[in-house]
Structure 1
Amino acid sequence: MTVATLSIILFVLLFAFLGSGLWVALSLLGVGMAAMALFTDAPLGLVMATTIWGNGNSWALAALPLFVWMGEILFRSRLSEDMFTGLSPWMNRLPGRLLHVNIFGCGIFAAVSGSSAATAATIGKLSIPELSKRGYPEKMVIGTLAGSATLGLLIPPSIILIVYGVATEQSIARLFVAGIVPGILLVTLFVGYVAIWGMLNRDLLPDEGERFPLREKLRRARRLLPVMGLIAGVIGSIYAGIASPTDAAAVGVVLALVLSWASGSLNWQSFSEGLMGAMVTSCMIAFILAGASFLTVAMGFTGIPRLLAEWIGSLQLSTYTLLAALTVFFVIMGCFLDGISVVVLTTSVIMPMVQKVGIDPLWFGIFVVIVVEMSQITPPVGFNLFVLQSLTGRNILTVARAALPFFLLMLLALAIIVAVPQVVTFLPEAM
């Protein structure tokens, strides 16, 4: 049986499992079991047991539930209210005015949650009613939220970067650091677009006539200090080499609990709900990783990744052609699967191809995350679209149209990091 036939059989089997509504983790395990049982002579049970245990018993993976818990704690605190209060006096005189609060608020919350959906829900719950009440165009309110919330996947501590690091055996600390400049680049592009739109559409924006003296701006900005301190403590300790990502995550949880308690929003209900939410999310991700790790090993036994890599090499594709093809592939996959599933599902096949043409796996991790960000605002299964649909009551196509300019801005950011790879690699190389 040729590698093409074998690949098609397994691919059809995978989509049959997913199309039937079977959990992603069970679908991955099922395809791996089929590949091992039908196309190899390896002992299925022994390989499955040792692979799942070996990949689950990872100290690097311990950072994941801790960062998820930190985000859950802050999601239930007064953080979003404090951010709006602290940011709005500084934004109301800029072109685009308080629309910028969505961008900077999402950027700040992304740096402490690591989750795109949590960022959209947290900032959206506060800003959508406030901006709608002031008369801001609904399309821009939804668009800025949809685009900016995806920063939760890129700005460290990013859950998906932890998953990619574990799946590809890359340094999570270096991946975190590599995501900082691209994250700032995306924020800059979003702010620039909103500012230009604001200058061209002054008549569509409400008059924010209230002026704040500098003393009042500084007084309100003090409400940003706790969360900025948390970000500096978590990311700064990793960058300085003082703490590993897992150590920093543990400190982040403690600081998040302290901040929540100090704000008066920590009680037994919020604590237990946050812990339960973190446990459910972490178990889901761990289960998917277990299935993906077994599928990766099963693919190794069948020889498919090696043969595909050799085939790609024989085509003599340029690096840019391969990256363009992978961009389309990941966006299409992201139309039907969540970002974490896309990453763990494809790494076993994609990475040999990527390494064959000499692409840096560290740089490729940031590339993948930006493409997955794009898929989060692509119908029919863009997770951020569903979150904003529930918050606004608009249909998903209306939300998708509002998010389209930000999809194109992410595509521009992708082109920039391809043309100038040092945007991603400069900080990790300086560590």
Structure 2
Amino acid sequence: MRAAPWYQPPMTTSWRLDAEAQIGRGVTARRFRLDNGLGLITAVDHRAPIVALQTWYRVGSRHERPGATGMAHLFEHLMFGSTDSLPPGEFDRLVERTGGESNAATWVDWTYYRLSLPARDLALGIRLESGRMQHLVLEPTPVEAERDVVTNERRERVEDDVDGWLDEQLMAHAFTEHPYRWPTIGWMEDIRGLSLPDIRAFYRTWYAPNNATLVCVGEFDEAAVLDLVASSYGAIAPAVLPEVPRIREPEQTRERVVRAPKPIATDRLLAGYKAPGQDDADWATLEIIATLLAGCPSARLYRRLVIEREAASSVDAQLTPFRDPSLLRLAVTASRGHTADEIVAEIDRELAAMAAEPPHHAEVEKAKAIAETDFWTSLVDVDGKAEAIGHYETALGDFRKVNAIAERLAAVTDDDVARCVRSYLRTERRTVVIAEPESGRRDDDQDDDD
């Protein structure tokens, strides 16, 4: 990777080219900056006449405040509404008419909007995105309609869904100070109470060029895109961005356990171990550990619980790619006749064995091969490249860190695995949320003939 000098394309507005790096094989990404602070990362890929255009905003649930949670996610819905020049529904109709697709996502560190388009329609995409950055209509009728959509989504995905409840409770109890503790979708009371003045102020504050990065990957002429973006965004004034406090989560010194009855047949548990943020050197080692535990049918925890003991019907491990402290999460659904406490004991035995003696070299190399394959597979198509570029630029501050993650995965050693298990996967650093069958619903209480 290298910094580049001032870049003077053949146009009236000057762009600064301040970074470039190869992403995958044969594709070079270049980061430009407009005078109003807008970032633009281009990656020309001529293998197919398509383009991924994504707009990443440095605002997620961590930028909210208690009592007003869910605002970032609400905007994921509002941004597909009407603008000064487009009636309701017209945004999606224009995209679908091209044969393209539109979507969006919100998480703890970011919100992004994605368009997948034929290359010939890139100019339309740029016009649509610049329009909703500056001219979104935020009036009572559309706001209340989307508020209803979000409250219904919360009911379906959290309040009426056991896995959604497990996820929400894990974050709420694993974090005591950091804003990761509240759900991205928001608490129901907060969603209902978001006022129209606060919604408009959120839009004016965070949906600004100096808080956004456009990512364009696919077949296009770079100079033409620079001209299009400059003409569409250059006149948008930057916002005064509030200082985001860096909140340090206190060290967890004891295990936290939450239990609740749910309308399920067998126990389910979600355990989260405190882990460093994605930019930390140990994050890659923990990604390999997650793969060692449950990355394939022969993985240690999956083999022990599902195949050998038949104590669980499913086992999954995931390391969250957060900017600030992450969680290595283990999700297990118990089989009939087995309990969450029994499964937790098996997890402890497996982790103790990994901490006492590093896994065999061949086992670690297999896990690395799986993790690296998954990593590079995510960069195969233009949408995957754009998403990776946008995430690393927005969450970690530099898209070039995508390459650092690949290098760190490849460099993990057997001893690194044992060291990180001892350092991070300790009982006192763990939060466990358990959903148990309501009285009379447990499978082992039913007749064998059922």
Q: TM-score, normalised by structure 1?
A: 0.27
Which structure is higher in RCO with an 8 Å CA cutoff and minimum separation 6? Answer: 1
Higher strand share: 2
Query: What TM-score, normalized to structure 2?
Result: 0.26
Question: Which one has the bigger helix percentage?
Answer: 1
Larger Rg belongs to: 2
